[in-house]
Amino acid sequence: MKISGAQAIIQCFKQEKVEVVFGYPGGAVLTLYDALYEANFPHILPRHEQGAVHAADGYARATGKVGVCIATSGPGATNLITGIATAYMDSIPLVAITGQVTVPLIGRDSFQEADITGITTPITKHNYLIKDINDLPRVFKEAFYIASTGRPGPVLIDIAKDVFAATIDFKYPTHVNLRGYKPIGEGDDQAIAYVYQELLQAEKPLFFIGGGINLSDTSTILRKIVSHTGIPVVSSLMGLGCIPYDDPRNFGMIGMHGTYAGNMATTETDLLIGLGVRFDDRVTSLVDDFAPKAKIVHFDIDPAEINKNVRAQIGVIGDLKWSLAKFYEMVRKRPADEWEKQVAPWREKLLSWKLARPLTYKSDSKKIMPQEIIETISNYTQGQAVIVTDVGQHQMWTAQYYHFQRPRTLLTSGGLGTMGYGLPAAIGAQVGLPDRQVICLSGDGGFMMNCQELMTVADLNLPIKIFIINNQCLGMVAQWQRKFYGGRYAHSCLKTKADFVKMAEAIGVAACRLESKTDMPHIINEVLKKDGPFLVDIRIPEEEDVLPMVPSGAPLDQMIMGG
Amino acid sequence: MKYTLAVLVENKPGVLTHISSLISRRAFIIESLTAGYTEETDMTRITMVVEAGDEYELQQVVNQLSKLIDVIKIIDLTGQDRIHRELALIKVKATPADRAEIVNIVEIFRAHIVDVNKETMIIELTGEESKIDAMCELLKDYGIKEIVRTGRVAISRAPISAKEM
């Protein structure tokens, strides 16, 4: 039986077990929307296409499934770009579907035409333009496969409007045939054996974990390795939660705003074992002085990551599911007490650093400190909530002071650093995990960048709790201006007449302003217990810095300390 | 150092966009890039001459290109026993007085004259880049109006094809 291209896409969704799509209709996708309507397919309507793509991203990060978003041609498609780039930098599996003008109109600067495959080529894992309906089932099969396998990433499918209306005898392919794409699952066992040999020789071994642990869902096996060997662990922003915050072997985040113990350990280690990390410059700082005394071992699924930023003595290429399982088999054969004998003195050293210079801040009798807000939320949620952030100071305070216990609970734009990510991504997370507590921690800058999505939250009555850590400025920009630009606050001041509480209420989200320090704990506790969505605007001191801080261009052990 | 890569790709629309976009995004230095059909209808072969500081840099180029879905295989021909050639078409000023001398040069280089008119000649030359450079240098004295070069194509002398390597 022949069905339309639009109906075929619904069939593709069903075949790929897509539960929900995030999208915004428009001229070129009208036929597709008619089919969604006809099939009563679950669809979330944000108020901006950027909201749709970030929501699909948040959904993917929280659930591990492929996020799907839809936008129309031209401006609809270009509004996806920031979100696609965000997903690309953090290796998030997305399928973005855009409408395109009809085949005869392509290339003629037609109304709402944009060359979205050309535009997104550098920020997608792959992209397609479908001009012939016969290509449609194969392209969808390939797109979902590419997005979700190997190193995940966003795939864009641009579809000419006439393809939605054309008809096809629909048959979904059972497998893909891509000569140029063979993701590496199982790699070379020998490489892991070399790592094991190096590990036996090491006096100061250190695991450095990243977003790859989240993406590969290998937190459980990692915890087994760490608990058997006692080897200390440091993390990138994207790896937080993979090891519980309070695990005695966890020494927190490293890098520009990393912990003293973590950064010192990275400087002193003689064997740094990177697991699903990409040695971003926010972590390495001055790359030539990164882990200067260490042999570096790098486990990654993407061969291009090995030796990209730092030289690795051993690269273990393959899925962490495979490599960590093999590695665990090797380490568990050696009794725990032997490991303990080997690594205990080194871990004690880290502990002494941690105790000497813990994360700290100056408390104030009247003012609410941002770190206290995060700690309070962390306490009341016992580190179990799904935390979605924007980008800037509040993001770093969240990374430092929220006691993450579980993987996939910190949803944040690490690679691209996208302000405006938080609220729409929280929507996606809450849609994907309706029974979990989802909290959006935002700043007064980032929140405004996609504040239109409050409407989506209100209309769907999503129980997201939004906390605006409000310092009336672009905090991170102002911090740099304070430290490196002589305190000249060029356009970083956001002192405004606007009232977030009234704004939220006007849109239909209950809200309050929190100014009194004594009220803070119980108000936060009350808010977290509420059924529906709620927004809290919290004023914090304007000039609070995120510390420790490694100035850019300095090695990791040169930290400006706080407290 | 210069490296010669044979890049086998799917013969699909958008492949060259993906490749050129990747090269510019990753700031790779490409000296020449030439593409054409192969013994298989659905496969295009690109010969790429890459400037890289060391083996690590080259490995990045190969690894990043390999990530493109439409790239089937990349073969580094640099260290291999291989033949490489480039084709050049050179339009040179040729007054009746100079013609005989130019014909001489053309013969020495085993090139061909493919067109002549009252003022110019077009010379076709195939060879390694250095040979083309040398002939251009000699023809300069007569006045070169225009040069088109294809960039390098390369093939291994091994008894198997690149896709089997």
3-state secondary structure of A366: coil
Q: Which amino acid is at A291?
A: A
Q: Do B69 and A129 touch (CB under 8 A)?
A: no
- Taking only the tens place, the pLDDT of each residue in A212-228 is 999 999 999 999 999 99
Which of A118, A180, A302 lies closest to B68 in CB terms? A180
Taking the C-alpha atoms of residue B124 and residue B137, their distance in angstroms, rounded to an integer, is 15
Of A164, A170, A139, A166, the C-alpha closest to A73 is A164
How far, in Å, are A89, A90, B51 from residue A149 at the CA level? Answer: 16, 14, 32
Mean pLDDT, residues B145-156 taken together: 96
Mean pLDDT, residues A405-415 taken together: 98
Q: Do B66 and A302 touch (CB under 8 A)?
A: no
The CATH topology of domain B2-76 is Alpha-Beta Plaits (3.30.70)
Are A2-169 and A370-539 equal in CATH topology?
yes
The pLDDT, as a whole number, for residue A267 is 97
Residues 6+ apart with CB under 8 A from A9: A32, A35, A97, A136, A140, A159, A164
The CATH topology of domain A2-169 is Rossmann fold (3.40.50)
B70 interaction partners in chain A (CB closer than 8 Å): 180
Spatial contact of B84 and B76, defined as CB atoms under 8 Å apart: no
Paired with A299 in beta bridges are: A275, A316
The pLDDT, as a whole number, for residue A516 is 93
Mean pLDDT, residues A229-247 taken together: 98
Select which of A161, A295, A326, A465 is catalytic: A161
DSSP A249-298: TEEEE-STT--HHHHHHHHH-SEEEEES----HHHHSSGGGSSTT-EEEE
ipTM of the shown complex: 0.90
Q: So where are chain A's domains?
A: 2-169, 189-356, 370-539
Q: Do A304 and B63 touch (CB under 8 A)?
A: yes
CB within 8 Å of chain B, chain A residues 163-222: 178-181
**Residue A476 falls in the annotated catalytic set:** yes
**Residue A208 falls in the annotated catalytic set:** no
Does A563 have pLDDT greater than 80?
A: no
The CATH topology of domain B83-153 is Alpha-Beta Plaits (3.30.70)
Q: So where are chain B's domains?
A: 2-76, 83-153
Lowest-confidence segment of A261-270, A273-282, B16-25 by average pLDDT: B16-25
- Taking only the tens place, the pLDDT of each residue in A516-559 is 999 999 999 999 999 999 999 999 999 999 999 999 889 999 99
Q: How many CB atoms lie within 10 A of CB B123?
A: 27
Taking the C-alpha atoms of residue A215 and residue A236, their distance in angstroms, rounded to an integer, is 14
Paired with A406 in beta bridges are: none
CATH of A189-356, one of 3.30.460.10, 3.40.980.10, 3.40.50.300, 3.40.50.1220: 3.40.50.1220
- Taking only the tens place, the pLDDT of each residue in A447-495 is 999 999 999 999 999 999 999 999 999 999 999 999 999 999 999 999 9
Q: Do B59 and A307 touch (CB under 8 A)?
A: yes
Does A130 have pLDDT greater than 90?
A: yes
Q: Using CA coordinates, name the residue in chain B closest to A118.
A: B17
Strands A21-23 and A205-209: unpaired
The pLDDT, as a whole number, for residue B2 is 93
Q: Do A304 and B67 touch (CB under 8 A)?
A: yes
**Residue A299 falls in the annotated catalytic set:** no
Q: Which percentage of chain A shows pLDDT scores above 90?
A: 98
The pLDDT, as a whole number, for residue A279 is 97
Taking the C-alpha atoms of residue B34 and residue B48, their distance in angstroms, rounded to an integer, is 7
Task: Please provide residue A211's backbone torsions phi and psi, each rounded to the nearest 5 degrees.
Answer: -60, -25
Of B26, B115, B13, the C-alpha closest to B67 is B26
From the number of C-beta atoms within 10 Å of its C-beta (0-12, 13-18, 19+), residue A330 rates as middle
Superfamily of domain A370-539: Thiamin diphosphate (ThDP)-binding fold, Pyr/PP domains (3.40.50.970)
Are B2-76 and B83-153 equal in CATH topology?
yes
